[in-house]
């Protein structure tokens, strides 16, 4: 608190009117210009903050608060807040009541002569003030730490475009089975799409036959069979070819009786074989 500030404080006293009377009786330490008074009072972070302010201002030991004094000063501030119609939070009034209660208890003769369990009436308040003060200090320390945006800046440069990759999602076989089950259950409901059972090896073989014929013209029928697969393999291939012919995918050609049979994927005359 500087001399200048005190002079300023005296000056405001002449400007402020409370209840139509010049307000001269206010806390001694209000060294702030009048238009800042409201701001000043609003900056208190609640009653504990205000109390700590009062204690620090008088350089008092927090552990040994002169409760009567502090109560009086606290009430002055609360009154002032009321006069300025600040949105006075209930916490301030609760604290005022608490201070008055402590004050009254301290006026009573203490039965604590014999060091019994009777606690100092201020103890709980002091504990709260001390606890709060730790976090006030911690908040200040936090604010003083270097931090991004203020003390350091994050670097962020671009990379030339066109290099981003997309990773496809993972699929579990169970997902696939659940999907096929769902789709056939639905299909079963509409009789038009009754799904007959077919061996998957037949279907797989149909794909393989088509793969072999892809991009080729007529292929000798016999080339599609692999004798090393044995009889079942030959049968599956044969069934696959019949199925493909039935569904208009393949066509069979025999130029003359008993000549070699040729097979090819059907295609429009003017269209090259599927690539």
Minimum distance from residue 58 beta carbon to other proteins (Å): 9
Minimum distance from residue 251 beta carbon to other proteins (Å): 8
Compute the distance between CA of residue 209 and CA of residue 202 in angstroms, rounded to an integer. 10
Instruction: Name the residue among 136, 157, 124, 163 with its Cα closest to residue 56.
Output: 136
Q: Does residue 263 sit in helix, strand or coil?
A: strand
- Radius of gyration over alpha carbons of the chain, in Å? 47
Minimum distance from residue 161 beta carbon to other proteins (Å): 9
Minimum distance from residue 114 beta carbon to other proteins (Å): 12
Minimum distance from residue 246 beta carbon to other proteins (Å): 11
Please, are residues 95 and 74 in contact by the beta-carbon 8 Å criterion?
Answer: yes
Packed helices 67-83 and 34-42: angle between N→C axes, nearest 10 degrees: 120
The residue among 78 and 95 lying less far from other proteins, judged by its C-beta, is 95
Q: In degrees, to the nearest 5, what angle opens at C-alpha 129 toward C-alphas 137 and 141? A: 5
The residue among 17 and 130 lying less far from other proteins, judged by its C-beta, is 130
Residues 31, 144, 49, 56: is their CA dihedral positive or negative?
negative
Minimum distance from residue 134 beta carbon to other proteins (Å): 5
Instruction: Name the residue among 34, 27, 44 with its Cα closest to residue 84.
Output: 34
The residue among 35 and 115 lying less far from other proteins, judged by its C-beta, is 115
Compute the distance between CA of residue 272 and CA of residue 275 in angstroms, rounded to an integer. 8
The residue among 78 and 265 lying less far from other proteins, judged by its C-beta, is 265
Minimum distance from residue 62 beta carbon to other proteins (Å): 7
The residue among 18 and 252 lying less far from other proteins, judged by its C-beta, is 252
The residue among 36 and 177 lying less far from other proteins, judged by its C-beta, is 177
Compute the distance between CA of residue 144 and CA of residue 275 in angstroms, rounded to an integer. 70
Token pair listed for 186: 């639905």
The residue among 158 and 256 lying less far from other proteins, judged by its C-beta, is 158
Token pair listed for 240: 């696959």
Minimum distance from residue 250 beta carbon to other proteins (Å): 8
CB half-sphere exposure, 114, CA atoms < 13 A = 2
The residue among 23 and 132 lying less far from other proteins, judged by its C-beta, is 132
Length of the chain: 275
């Amino acid at each position: 608190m500087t001399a200048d500030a005190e002079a300023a404080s005296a000056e405001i006293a002449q400007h402020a009117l409370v209840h139509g009377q010049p307000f001269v009786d206010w806390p001694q330490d209000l060294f702030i210009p009048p238009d800042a008074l409201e701001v000043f009072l609003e900056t208190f972070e609640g009653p504990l903050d205000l109390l700590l302010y009062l204690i620090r201002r008088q350089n008092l030991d927090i552990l040994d608060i002169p409760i009567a004094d502090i109560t009086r000063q606290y009430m002055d501030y609360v009154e002032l807040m009321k006069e300025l119609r600040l949105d006075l939070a209930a916490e301030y009034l609760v604290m005022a009541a608490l201070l008055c209660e402590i004050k009254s208890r301290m006026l009573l003769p203490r039965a604590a002569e014999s060091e019994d369990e009777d606690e100092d009436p201020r103890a709980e308040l002091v504990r709260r003030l001390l606890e709060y003060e730790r976090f006030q200090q911690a908040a200040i320390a936090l604010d003083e730490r270097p931090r991004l945006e203020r003390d350091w800046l994050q670097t962020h440069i671009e990379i030339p475009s066109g290099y981003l990759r997309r990773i496809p999602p993972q699929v579990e076989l169970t997902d696939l089975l659940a999907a096929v089950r769902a789709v056939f259950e639905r299909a079963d409901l509409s009789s038009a799409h009754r799904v007959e059972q077919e061996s998957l090896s037949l279907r797989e073989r149909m794909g393989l036959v088509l793969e072999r014929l892809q991009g080729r013209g007529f292929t000798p029928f016999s080339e599609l069979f692999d004798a090393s697969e044995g009889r079942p393999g030959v049968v599956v291939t044969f069934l696959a070819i019949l199925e493909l012919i039935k569904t208009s995918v393949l066509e069979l050609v025999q130029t003359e009786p008993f000549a070699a049979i040729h097979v090819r994927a059907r295609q429009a005359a003017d269209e090259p074989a599927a690539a």
